[in-house]
Amino acid sequence: GITCTSEPDVKGNIIEAINYPVRIFPIGRLDKDSEGLILLTSDGSIVNRILRVENAHDKEYIVHLSSSIKPDFKKKMESGVEIYNPVRSEMTKTLPCRVKIVNDTTFIIVLNQGLNRQIRRMCSALGYHVVRLKRIRIMNFQLGNLKKGEWRELSSQEVTELISLLKHPSR
């Protein structure tokens, strides 16, 4: 239910929710109906390096559907799905991704792309409805045991690792 924006005029924004003592902003976004890991930073120079598709930084999600997964679902998702791109008012095919079926209605997906509501739109295009979507990893950062609304600062080792990963994309 939090809006992933640093715009102060947007009620219920992530910056308001975190109430951090210095100016920070989110790297990427989660839609209001989703939950999970999001990185926040005060260093604007790293944002595009993390988000650029060509840098191939993984984002991993666990997705729960309202109906059973059919046998061809994994192959269709992994090869890319035609979805409507509202920015360009045209259909676009998503980039290949990795999918692991967890059970009858749950799967894990790893994307390098980050289109608006991408997973929900991919599933919808294949006839499925997402009932819960949770981001569990960005690059090498895991959500771990953090609960909804909890946050923590990166350790100095994690910051060093992040800077190293950003110097060497596609790792």
Q: Tokens at residue 129, please?
A: 């409805």
Model confidence at 4: pLDDT above 90: no
Residues 68-95, buried b or exposed e (16+ Cβ, 10 A)? Answer: ebeeebbeebeeebebeeeeeeeeeebe
Please write the tens of the pLDDT for every residue from 55-76. Answer: 668 899 999 999 999 999 999 9
Range with the lowest mean pLDDT among 15-24, 69-78, 96-105?
15-24
- Whether 120 and 111 have beta carbons less than 8 Å apart is answered as no
Please write the tens of the pLDDT for every residue from 100-125. Answer: 999 999 999 999 888 888 999 999 99
Please write the tens of the pLDDT for every residue from 34-59. Answer: 999 998 888 877 777 776 655 668 89
Statement: the pTM of the whole predicted model exceeds 0.75: yes
Catalytic residues: 31
